Amino acid sequence: MATWLPTGIQLSYLVAAALFILGIKKLGSPATARSGNLWAAVGMTLAIVATLLDQHIVGYGQLAVALAVGSGLGALMAYRVEMTAMPQMVGLLNGLGGGASALVALAEFWRASNLGTTLPPETLVSILLGVGIGGVTLTGSLIAFGKLQEWLTGAPVTFVGQRLMSVGLVVGFALGCAYLLVVEPTDLGVLLALTLVTLVFGVLFVIPVGGADMPVVVSLLNSLSGLAASATGFILANNMLVVAGALVGASGLILTQIMCKAMNRPLTNVLFGAFTVQQAATVAGVAGPQGSMKTVDSEETAMMLAYARSVVIVPGYGLAVAQAQHAVRELADQLEHRGVDVRYAIHPVAGRMPGHMNVLLAEANVPYPQLYDMEGINPEFERTDVALVIGANDVVNPAARHDKGSPIYGMPILDVDRAQRTVVIKRGAGRGYSGIENELFFKDKTLMLYGNARDVLTQLVSSVKQLD
């Protein structure tokens, strides 16, 4: 075997790492994002091919089978998934990545103990990190997937002694690690027991989180799956794995932060809020806005929209649930045809993961320059004739700006109440996810249009057409 080969492999890894960084950088603008993704994929292909050239590798046939099976399943999932199901898709893929890292760590341990070599403590620590982080990512992601897919209840699940059990698992894990590191570094039974502990911990970690907060968890688990990959990099002394894992770890962490900020809740509250929920409920029950709501029918709304100069559409989770993104684009087309200036205001946590609403609207062929983020659109509401809120609630509640007693006080919101008129399309007179009444609905300028978002929008489209 040529001596240049190991150097060549390492250099290929370096190129792959650079391609990952450049690819993520290019993902930063809609114009270059697609090629950025391609660059990262090329980097991945290069890394895999370089690894296959490694002279320690034997048995290419079975590797080819495993690579083909995984690729085939991945491609099938990618082409069949609905855009509305993107959060659970990302969650599931995440879990598989974490599981792979944990398996690699286990395999390395097994190989070493089979050869009778004692692993140096630093490698053992990396293996324990890989198994621990990877295991939690695997089962945590599967639970998150189940909740988002609604195979499991979306409500927070808590039981008596749950926190005690979690603490017990953490303590048990620490003791097991100490045993392996100090007493008997080749005990496979202990490592398998520790693996089991991390798997159970992953379940306990995610079940108390409510379905609406699941995107935060998915984003956090995304970060963890990166760290698990980094851990395998430390085990194998492979810096390219370390780089790739660190990049993913950093990105997941930033997105988690962004989502928590957009909901004005610290991460600890998202993760452990279920254990203190009674408190919040009593606070919410104390005071609420008084007065009556005014309703409006679709003909009148169509008239209002058609003769407006500017309309801002505020899509929320309800729009995604009703699969109404195509209907809303049709309405926007009709209005633009009549010379109305139509824009979309996207709250950072609209949809079920950050940026999810943008993907859903892009699928319905809404051009992305029409989508405005919160900072961009809020100053514009004062000059807006009609703000059309579709299936959004807490993110347009003005109480977040001024009511210090409100559970959502301080959360950044879209200032739809500053528009000349606000029309709210909503399934019924119920409360938002936070469980509080929305004072926007009681304002003089606000009109309520009840019904399923898709049905209502379809009616609006035909009513606007009839105005010609």
Partner 1 sequence: MSDALLTGLFVFVLASFAGFEVINKVPPTLHTPLMSGTNAISGISVVGALLAAGNHESTLATWLGMVAIVLAMINVVGGFLVTDRMLHMFRKKEA
- Residue 278 burial (10 A CB sphere; 0-12, 13-18, 19+): exposed
Residues in the chain: 468
Output the smallest distance, CB 44 to partner 1, in A: 6
Which CB atom, from 34 or from 294, has the smaller least distance to partner 1? 34
How far does the chain reach from its first CA to its final CA, in angstroms? 79
Give the separation between CA 96 and CA 40, rounded to whole angstroms. 19
> In whole angstroms, how close is the CB of 286 to partner 1 at the nearest point?
34
| Closer residue to partner 1 in complex, CB, 149/251 | 251
Residue type, 23: G
Residue with tokens 């907060």: 213
Residue pair 173/200 in contact (Cβ under 8 Å)? The answer is: no
* CB-facing half-sphere around the CA of 143: CA atoms within 13 A: 27
Least CB distance to partner 1 at residue 272 (A): 23
Q: DSSP per residue over 416-439, as a string?
A: GGGSSEEEEEESSS---TTS---G
Contacts 24+ apart (CB under 8 A), 176-182: 177/128, 180/124, 180/128, 181/121, 181/124, 181/125, 181/128
Report the nearest approach of partner 1 to the CB of residue 15 (Å): 14
Q: Which of 213, 394, 415, 417 is catalytic?
A: 394
Ranges of beta strands (E only) in 163-226 are none
Closer of 99 and 185 to partner 1 (Cβ): 99
Nearer to partner 1, 177 or 241 (CB): 241
Shortest CA distance to 81 belongs to which of 149, 151, 150?
149
Cβ proximity to partner 1, 28 vs 339, nearer residue: 28
Q: How far is the CB of 404 from partner 1 (least distance, A)?
A: 28
CA quadruple 453, 454, 460, 466: dihedral, nearest 10: -170
- Cβ at position 280, least distance to partner 1 in Å: 27
Output the smallest distance, CB 65 to partner 1, in A: 8
Joined together, the tokens standing for residue 376 give: 């961009």
Closest by CA to 196, choosing from 156, 139, 266, is 139
- Minimum separation from the CB atom of position 214 to partner 1 (A): 13
Q: Element (H or E) spanning 447, and its range?
A: strand 446-450
Report, in Å, the least distance between residue 17 CB and partner 1: 8
Beta-carbon count within 10 A of 454 CB: 18
- Kindly state the tokens that stand for 346: 């996207």
Strand ranges of the sheet holding 421-426, from the earlier edge strand across to the other edge: 371-373, 341-346, 310-315, 386-390, 421-426, 446-450
Distance CA 21, CA 271 (A): 30
Relative to beta strand 446-450, strand 421-426 is parallel
What are the tokens at 210? Answer: 């409510």
Is 394 noted as a catalytic residue in this protein? yes
Measured in degrees and rounded to the nearest 5, phi and psi for residue 342 equal -110, 130
Q: Which residues are catalytic?
A: 394
